[in-house]
Amino acid sequence: MARSLCPGAWLRKPCYLQARFSYVRMKYLFFSWLAVFVGSWIIYVQYSTYTELCRGKDCKKIICDKYKTGVIDGPACNSLCVTETLYFGKCLSTKPSNQMYLGIWDNLPGVVKCQMEQALHLDFGTELEPRKEIVLFDKPTRGTTVQKFKEMVYSLFKAKLGDQGNLSELVNLILTVADGDKDGQVSLGEAKSTWALLQLNEFLLMVILQDKEHTPKLMGFCGDLYVMESVEYTSLYGISLPWVIELFIPSGFRRSMDQLFTPSWPRKAKIAIGLLEFVEDVFHGPYGNFLMCDTSAKNLGYNDKYDLKMVDMRKIVPETNLKELIKDRHCESDLDCVYGTDCRTSCDQSTMKCTSEVIQPNLAKACQLLKDYLLRGAPSEIREELEKQLYSCIALKVTANQMEMEHSLILNNLKTLLWKKISYTNDS
């Protein structure tokens, strides 16, 4: 007969405790190893995503190869490729095709942006053409005169901005920007760089609004890489956390946490006024109307004086260009007629084509973003009026009668309400 493992009654209790302890230890070890495995897998996936998103070395190599072979030129080329006094810092990229970094250029902070694929057309959910199928920096060709280049730029602007009466002024402005070394002439390399950059809405908007307070200044370019003014705070609100920590924070809790890390209310009001002023800048500006197609907080920032500065304007597009591209797009529902996150038209069920008229104006989108931002912590004496004006603003529609008059009235009322409240505060 086999001996019992616990022959005596006086041994049974210790034996039971020993077995239970072993079971608990095994269970603890199993879940510990499981947590390590799952955590390692998540970190590996996120690291792989990071290396795919952040391809600054590839971008620099492509640009510098073109510069060293004399294909392109620009004021940032020598610093990037020869003296190496322009270098990339923290990666801010959200898409592999659009590289974005904090950078330093001759001890001045800036934001470096580089295109890993050419933006030949607006992307309505389809992938852009692969870079290998595009002859990069192929225009203008050798032998092109300055006059011919001006005609090329004029035709491009006419297609993007419509038949504006003052396009010739914009063409002359572009030639001034293209002359990066300020020698009074535009070289073929500078022209190739400028032509590539003019395909990008953000670059065009920076040139058009170069004298406006809330548009970051262009510092220089090389090919389709460009450097713009740095912004101290690169999101409207929130706190920057390491990506490893971000993984384990639920999105709902993250939004609530973001609202806690905002400036004081008078400073928020000043930032909000800046956004309203930027909406004015792009609404029927000197070269037509631009549409804000992604009004998320990550695209807006502010400096140490709490003046709003745009961080990312790549989804701000000329209205004429968007209408032309979307009007004949096949659709099954209104969901098929969206560019970015915020530019929506309707689907005509009789023709199964998208209509060209964007439903919501820029101001309504800005007010939607500002609603929670401004109402949280708003002074009690203006909260009710502020809420009323914000909801009236959000309700604006492009198709409404006398929309432009309502737009101006609501915008001015909001700015007046906020300024009156903060004009005599130290925070403003």
Q: Give the tens place of pLDDT for each residue, 46-81.
A: 544 445 678 888 999 999 999 999 999 999 999 999
175 & 150 share domain? yes
Residue 94's pLDDT is 78
Residue 207's pLDDT is 93
Residue 135's pLDDT is 52
Domain limits for position 172: 56-117+136-229
pTM of the predicted protein model: 0.81
Which stretches of the chain drop beneath a pLDDT of 70? 1-28, 30-31, 33-52, 117-135, 238-249, 251-256, 259, 400-402, 426-428
Residue 98's pLDDT is 84
Structure tokens at 394: 């959000």
Please give the tally of structural domains in the chain: 2
Residue 119's pLDDT is 42
Comparing CA positions, the residue from 415, 220, 230, 209 lying closest to residue 304 is 230
What is the C-alpha to C-alpha distance for residues 367 and 415, in angstroms, rounded to an integer? 12
Considering the domain boundaries, does residue 220 fall inside one?
A: yes
Considering the domain boundaries, does residue 127 fall inside one?
A: no
6 exposure class (CB count in 10 Å sphere: 0-12, 13-18, 19+): middle
Comparing CA positions, the residue from 344, 358, 9, 322 lying closest to residue 159 is 322
Residue 115's pLDDT is 85
Structure tokens at 230: 């740095």
Residue 398's pLDDT is 80
278 & 341 share domain? yes
- Write out pLDDT tens, residues 386-399: 999 999 999 998 87
Residue 67's pLDDT is 95
211 & 300 share domain? no
Residue 47's pLDDT is 46
204 & 281 share domain? no
Cα–chain-centroid distance for residue 414? Answer: 25
Considering the domain boundaries, does residue 140 fall inside one?
A: yes
Considering the domain boundaries, does residue 123 fall inside one?
A: no
The one-letter amino acid code at 126 reads T
Considering the domain boundaries, does residue 179 fall inside one?
A: yes
